[in-house]
Each structure stands twice: as structure tokens, then as C-alpha cells.
């Protein structure tokens, strides 16, 4: 997403094309996104709650979310991936895979990546 200037325009264009988007998202302090994608998470959160944004805004977009986290963070475990997964559905996008919550605390972490791929 680094090169994306306008997430709304980018994702709605991808939705119109019927694209598949993969979101690989880690969670940091207090359940927050990494600094360089704060802007994207903020936009998605606001859009998914905004009554002026259509519930079908991202219809046509297929997606899957791979979350990176650590279960020792309790309720904040993979919080950002969980949130974006729900927010994309609210905007009409179609999940093609169940949310994967990879746990760096789990010795079988690699299995999550294999399932996702
Ligand atoms: C300072 C710090 C805070 C973290 N906070 C959380 C958290 O709230 N929830 C969570 O699930 N993982 C948390 N983690 C674990 C990271 O999500 C995990 O290390 C992940 O693999 C980082 O992926 P990345 O380096 O690709 O961004 C935290 C890690 C660090 C270093």
C-alpha cells in the first residue's frame, strides 16, 4: 500500500476490476497498526462506519487477511488484522479465506503461512 496515494480510489478501482487483494497486517502497541500503514487503517475504519459510504463500496473485491501477532498480548492479539477483516466485509468486499491469525509465540507459526498460501 506504500505507493497508494488514495486508498478509496485504489480499492474501488480494484473492486470494479474484480481483483483479489491480500492484506498482510501486523499488530503493535496496544493493538495498533504499524506506523507506516496507520493512515490506511484509519481510512478503512472511518469509511466502514460512515453512513455516507455505501455498504457496497467495495463489492467485487475479493480479499484475504494474514495477521501477524503474538498471543501473549491477550485481547490485542492480531487486533488490527481482525478489525480490517471485519471492516472490509462492512464495505461489501468478499473474504475468500478465513482470517489467518499467525502467532509468533507458536512454534507452528509456519503452518499458518502454508495454509494461507
Ligand atoms: C512493541 C511491540 C508491541 C506488540 N504488540 C502486539 C499486540 O498488541 N498484539 C499482537 O498480536 N502482537 C503484538 N506484537 C507482536 C508483533 O505483531 C509480531 O512481532 C509480528 O510478528 C510483527 O510483524 P512485523 O515485524 O512483520 O511487523 C508486538 C510486538 C512488539 C515488538
Determine the residue of 2, 25, 26, 76 to mutate for testing ligand 1's pocket, defined as the one with the most ligand atoms within 8 A of the Cβ atom.
26
pLDDT band, very low/low/confident/very high, at 2 (cuts 50, 70, 90)? low
Classify residue 56: in a domain, yes or no.
Answer: yes
How far, in Å, from the CA of 12 to the mean position of ligand 1? 29
> Would you call 64 helix, strand, or coil by DSSP?
strand
pLDDT tens, residue by residue, 9-19: 899 999 999 99
Classify residue 23: in a domain, yes or no.
Answer: yes
Residue closest to 83 by CA, chosen among 115, 40, 113:
40
Classify residue 52: in a domain, yes or no.
Answer: yes
* 112 C-beta closer than 6 A to ligand 1: no
Classify residue 49: in a domain, yes or no.
Answer: yes
pTM of the model: 0.92
Residue closest to 58 by CA, chosen among 29, 21, 27, 99:
21
pLDDT tens, residue by residue, 57-78: 999 999 999 999 999 999 999 9
- How many structural domains comprise the chain? 1
Classify residue 114: in a domain, yes or no.
Answer: no
pLDDT band, very low/low/confident/very high, at 114 (cuts 50, 70, 90)? confident
* Full DSSP string of 8-57: HHHHHHHHHHT-EEEEEEE-BGGGBPPGGGHHHHHHHHHHHH-TTS-TTT
How far, in Å, from the CA of 52 to the mean position of ligand 1? 33
Amino acid at each position: 500500500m506504500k505507493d497508494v496515494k488514495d486508498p478509496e480510489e485504489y480499492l474501488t478501482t480494484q473492486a470494479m476490476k474484480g481483483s483479489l487483494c491480500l492484506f498482510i497486517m501486523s499488530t503493535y502497541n496496544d493493538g495498533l497498526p504499524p506506523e507506516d500503514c496507520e493512515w490506511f487503517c484509519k481510512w478503512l475504519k472511518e469509511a466502514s462506519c460512515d453512513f455516507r459510504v455505501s455498504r457496497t463500496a467495495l463489492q467485487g473485491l475479493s480479499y484475504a487477511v494474514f495477521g501477524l501477532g503474538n498471543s501473549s498480548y491477550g485481547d490485542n492479539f492480531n487486533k488490527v488484522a481482525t478489525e480490517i477483516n471485519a471492516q472490509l466485509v462492512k464495505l461489501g468486499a468478499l473474504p475468500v479465506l478465513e482470517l489467518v491469525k499467525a502467532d509468533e509465540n507458536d512454534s507452528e507459526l509456519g503452518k499458518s503461512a502454508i495454509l494461507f498460501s
